[in-house]
Amino acid sequence: MIANHRIGSDSQEQRIDSLEKEIERSDQRVAALKKLVDDLQRENNDLAKNADRQNKIRKKKNPEVGRIYEYVRVSHDDSVKSGLGIEAYIQSFETWISLAEKEGNLKGRKRGVTGWEGGWKFINPDGTVAKTKEELKNSIRTKAGDVRADGIFLDLSISARNIELHRRPAGSLLLSTVRNGDLIVVPNMERGFRSTRDFLNTQEMLRSMGVTLMLLSPMIDMSTATGQMLSTMLAGSAEYDSSMKSERNRLAYRSKALRGDKNIIGWKDRGKPDWLERLLLNEVIYRHEALGIALNVRLMDDLESMIAAYEDRAPFPRGGSGRKKRRLGSSAEKAIGMYKHAKLHGDNLLKGCPEKIANKFYGSQTNAERRLAHRSKAERRI
């Protein structure tokens, strides 16, 4: 009996040892499986990172299929009124899209579904449009215009000589709209840029965004080295053309002033300055160069409001006659002429202007100092 009990105890201990070894082997297998899972997860993460890296490289070399937008700018209010130039530019864009689509050159791009058309306006805190001198002092400069649904962005009555693309109403909205793979089409260099620096800065920014810029006339693809060289030369030519026009006009007006022409704005007679008109000329420079307001009839309306406030009367309407005829007129040509006259006078524009007249014109010494400071800064750039 005792021997049989001892034999049964030994076999039980052997089973326990066997089970313990089996458990140990199972733990080892579990640990090996965990290690294998960790290795697989690490390998999977490495593959995902490599795929992302390859995807980024692919996107950089082959941008995503995006949308097509057109940008058009006209400088003068008369062009806006007639609409002929704008229609011609839009028609050339439509023709190009139709031909490119038939020839399969759009590379899968679709036409943009948003756009914008308009300029600037000044809004009072209560939401009404600011018109008088007192209202303009406290107004908020904001974008005014209508949304388009054809991918066309229009800047109306906006100068490109002193206002970069990102500071123009439609231009700034266009730059905030485009994404990687998009295409911006401009009719010609003059419609987009009148400054080589503005063009190069904009081109570099668009390139970093993966956006392509293209001219229709001449047809230049700026994604190539040759296109970049030719487009830079065209931008320099556009700036040169604008500068030469300004220089010729400045010399012509200076010659008239020295001749003693009584029709020169800012002079009552030979050697006798008209300080009110000279303050208005200074205001034209301030609004055009510092605020980006176009030289158009709306600017002339603002100047008439300032004259009316200075003379303590109601503003005269456009096209008035007799005693209610505007002192400086109402046309866009007059606004452009005033800007040229302001450049003509140079540093002597407000030299010797009585402080009493300046303070009465601007309403406060603070406003006068702010505008006069900008005037001296503007003259240093000429």
pLDDT at 309: 82
State the pLDDT confidence band at 258, using cuts at 50, 70 and 90: low
State the pLDDT confidence band at 376, using cuts at 50, 70 and 90: very low
Side chain identity at residue 95, one-letter code: T
C-alpha to C-alpha distances, 45 to 5, 38, 49, 51, 225, nearest whole angstrom: 60, 11, 6, 10, 39
Cis peptide before 63 (omega within 30 of 0): no
Domain ranges, ordered by start, for the chain: 1-62, 67-240, 260-381
What is the mean predicted confidence (pLDDT) over 146-153? 86
Question: pTM, whole model, 2 decimals?
Answer: 0.54
C-alpha to C-alpha distances, 294 to 94, 219, 285, nearest whole angstrom: 28, 29, 11
Rg (CA), the chain: 35
pLDDT at 142: 64
Decide if 144 contacts 119 (C-beta within 8 A): yes
pLDDT at 184: 93
- What's the chain's average pLDDT? 76
Q: Please name the residue ranges forming H helices in 126-274.
A: 133-137, 169-177, 189-192, 196-209, 225-259
β-sheet bridge partners, residue 155: 73, 118
Q: Each residue of 119-144: pLDDT tens digit?
A: 666 667 676 777 666 666 666 666 56
What is the mean predicted confidence (pLDDT) over 345-354? 70
Q: How many CB atoms are closer than 10 A to CB 37?
A: 10
**What is the Cα–Cα distance from 302 to 48, expressed in whole angstroms?**
61
What is the mean predicted confidence (pLDDT) over 17-46? 82
State the pLDDT confidence band at 380, using cuts at 50, 70 and 90: very low
**What is the Cα–Cα distance from 211 to 129, expressed in whole angstroms?**
36
Q: Please name the residue ranges forming H helices in the chain.
A: 2-61, 77-82, 84-103, 133-137, 169-177, 189-192, 196-209, 225-259, 275-285, 297-311, 332-345, 355-362, 365-381
C-alpha to C-alpha distances, 109 to 61, 89, 212, nearest whole angstrom: 16, 21, 12
What is the mean predicted confidence (pLDDT) over 198-224? 88
Instruction: Answer whether residue 374 shows pLDDT above 60.
Output: no
Among 57-71, 80-94, 338-352, 367-381, the range of highest mean pLDDT: 80-94
Name which CATH class applies to 67-240: alpha beta
State the pLDDT confidence band at 261, using cuts at 50, 70 and 90: low
**What is the Cα–Cα distance from 349 to 378, expressed in whole angstroms?**
12
C-alpha to C-alpha distances, 347 to 52, 73, 373, nearest whole angstrom: 60, 31, 12
Q: Each residue of 319-343: pLDDT tens digit?
A: 766 667 777 776 666 777 777 667 6
Decide if 165 contacts 202 (C-beta within 8 A): yes
β-sheet bridge partners, residue 143: 120
pLDDT at 257: 60
Q: Each residue of 87-110: pLDDT tens digit?
A: 888 889 999 999 988 888 887 888
